[in-house]
Amino acid sequence: MIRVQDLRLPLDYTEETLRQAVLKKLHLPPERLLSCKLRRRSVDARRDTVTFLLTVDVKVKGEAKLLKKHLKGVLPVQELPYTIQPLQSPERPVVVGYGPGGMFAAYVLAKAGLRPIVLERGRPVAQRMQDVAAFRHTGKLDPESNVQFGEGGAGTFSDGKLHTGIRDPRIRFVLETFAECGAPPEILWQAKPHIGTDKLTETVTTLRQRTEALGGEVWFGAKMNGFMAENGRLTGICFHRNGEQQEICTAHAVLALGHSARDTLEMLHAAGIALTQKPFAVGVRIEHLQSAVNRACYGADREHPALGASDYKLAVHLPNGRSLYTFCMCPGGEVIAAASEQGRLAVNGMSCFARDGRNANSALLVGISPADLGSDHPLAGMAFQREIEAAAFAAGGGNYHAPVICVGDFLAGKISTAFGSVLPTYTPGTKFALPDSYLPGFVCETLRLGIPEMDKRLKGFAAADAVLTGVESRSSSPVRMVRDSSYCSVGLHGLYPCGEGAGYAGGITSASVDGIHCAEAIIHDLGGAVWNG
């Protein structure tokens, strides 16, 4: 197979114009082109006319002869399908947590015939969505359901963004698996793959059913609260379920906790598991009219049906020595509640697949380093998060309403009294408050310096009626669970810290890939064959 890169085509291109572009690039007559499959498509808005940049995989007659011409942007490609050889073992690994890392760890272990047992403290995703809807209507956080936890973890709040900064051949397996489980097929070629919150529920449920069909089990309402070990090796996991304390004997467990399982992290620290601080970020969500973002990004082409809602990604380095950057931008989306503890408030962002909401939103973040924490305790970053979340809860009125302010008023240092054209999407409600009441001074200073600088890169970013909603505190884990080259926790063989909560991932795709790596490490430890594509 041959991969043809950097094909620039107009927004209204057709399959035929794509074929003609391929033939022109390869200097071939039509009869030599056997097949042409879209591999990647991105938008290039850097010119006056917005275009698509495409990469396609083609099969042609005389492939070897063609490759000898060494055409620019034309290269051979051979992708091996992801395979795991089944092995015979009485061992049943345990997976703690069923977010992206846990899902793919369990799926790969099941494909190897190991019949994993998943301990998920929350409820199935369909019930979770009902819990979230009830919270948004009543503003009451049910400690039994806990809106942050459940099948898919915080990913339930996500719009299923699958783009990532890592490079790993397992990414293709992740995308193909999601597509097979009901995700939109476009994720296989989008430059920034996106499932959509509305389609994520079906996808997650189907992936679980696949794991169960292979012999895996998912036990909901099961909260890990301890482990057993002998001579530096794991021997079992302790958990609470159905009102009873229980144990599972196992020599292999994947800890895919997610970055909000704070009580479990405290238990692990008390038990002597090696933890360390890691950098993270905090800030607010910023909302604009999606139509304004489209205008700024696409100009005269903004209403072309092939484009849809525009996104953006911005970062600025500032005179105070800090940086401000956008993260998890949600075109046509909404700001949503992401609280996981009573008396504390956090927000996130999401979009449905259509991305057709009135507003765009993005996290607007300032990095927090260990030096900012004033403590060398491994969980100092978690304490920092809790402090600002409690302050945000109070600033919002103490009823899970979120503190908001218009950008113009924030830059002027005064509290807003009315909204302009941008209305906040957060429910159950909002209250005007300055971020200075819940964020550290250096974070607010960085926001005030950075927002006007970002406006130079994206016109209208500092619009006076744009809305800031706080507090965005869960962009990544402030803790890393230290592991060795075998993916095991340092000092305890058989315990595999995994994904975002362990400090080794920063999104759905990277967490999924890390789950695969942990599963492969278990398979290797049991003498099985590991895919090396």
Q: Do 272 and 286 share a structural domain?
A: no
Q: Do 132 and 68 share a structural domain?
A: no
Pairing outcome for strands 74-76 and 94-96: unpaired
**Number of domains forming the structure of the chain:** 3
Distance of CA 3 to CAs 75, 76, 175, 485, Å? Answer: 5, 6, 19, 34
Asked if the structure places residue 478 within a domain, the reply is: no
Cis peptide before 471 (omega within 30 of 0): yes
CA dihedral 95, 101, 105, 107 (to 10 degrees): 110
Residues 306 and 41: their CA atoms lie apart, in Å, by: 12
Q: Do 294 and 222 share a structural domain?
A: no
Distance of CA 333 to CAs 61, 206, 259, 349, Å? Answer: 46, 25, 23, 7
pLDDT, tens digit (0-9, with 9 covering 90-100), for 160-201 = 888 888 889 999 999 999 999 999 999 999 999 999 988 988
- Residue 469 has what pLDDT? 98
Residue holding tokens 């789950």? 515
pLDDT, tens digit (0-9, with 9 covering 90-100), for 23-70 = 999 999 999 999 999 999 999 998 889 999 999 999 999 999 999 999
**How many C-beta atoms surround the C-beta of residue 42 within 10 A?**
14
Q: Do 417 and 304 share a structural domain?
A: yes
Q: Do 50 and 121 share a structural domain?
A: no
Supply the CATH number for residue 269's domain.
Answer: 3.50.50.60
Q: Do 215 and 141 share a structural domain?
A: yes
Q: What is the DSSP string of 348-413?
A: EEE--TT---SEEEEEEEEEE-GGGTT---TTHHHHHHHHHHHHHHHHTTSSSPEEEEEHHHHHHT
Asked if the structure places residue 366 within a domain, the reply is: yes
Q: Do 239 and 284 share a structural domain?
A: no
Asked if the structure places residue 392 within a domain, the reply is: yes
The residue out of 45, 76, 107 marking a domain boundary is 76
Residues 454 and 324: their CA atoms lie apart, in Å, by: 9
Residue holding tokens 């695969």? 516
Amino acid at 98: Y
Query: Widest CA span of the chain, in angstroms?
Result: 71
Residues 469 and 313: their CA atoms lie apart, in Å, by: 18
Q: Do 167 and 132 share a structural domain?
A: yes
For residue 393, give its domain range: 279-378+385-472
Cis peptide before 169 (omega within 30 of 0): no
Q: Do 238 and 133 share a structural domain?
A: yes
304 in helix, strand or coil? coil
Q: Do 250 and 361 share a structural domain?
A: no
Q: Do 296 and 182 share a structural domain?
A: no
Asked if the structure places residue 236 within a domain, the reply is: yes
The residue out of 27, 46, 76 marking a domain boundary is 76
pLDDT, tens digit (0-9, with 9 covering 90-100), for 69-125 = 999 999 999 888 898 889 989 999 999 999 999 999 999 999 999 999 999 998 777
pLDDT, tens digit (0-9, with 9 covering 90-100), for 293-321 = 999 999 999 999 999 999 999 999 999 99
Q: Of 427, 423, 452, 525, give the one whose Cα is nearest residue 484.
A: 525
Q: Of 166, 189, 199, give the one whose Cα is nearest residue 43.
A: 189
Alpha-helical segments (H) within 169-288: 170-180, 197-213, 262-270
Q: Do 243 and 153 share a structural domain?
A: yes
pTM over 0.85: yes
Supply the CATH number for residue 42's domain.
Answer: 3.30.70.2700
Asked if the structure places residue 251 within a domain, the reply is: yes
Q: Are 480 and 503 in contact (CB under 8 A)?
A: yes
Asked if the structure places residue 412 within a domain, the reply is: yes
In this model, does residue 476 exceed pLDDT 70? yes
In this model, does residue 148 exceed pLDDT 60? no
Structure tokens at 262: 């704070």
Residues 458 and 462: their CA atoms lie apart, in Å, by: 9
Asked if the structure places residue 84 within a domain, the reply is: no
The residue out of 49, 76, 103 marking a domain boundary is 76
Asked if the structure places residue 208 within a domain, the reply is: yes
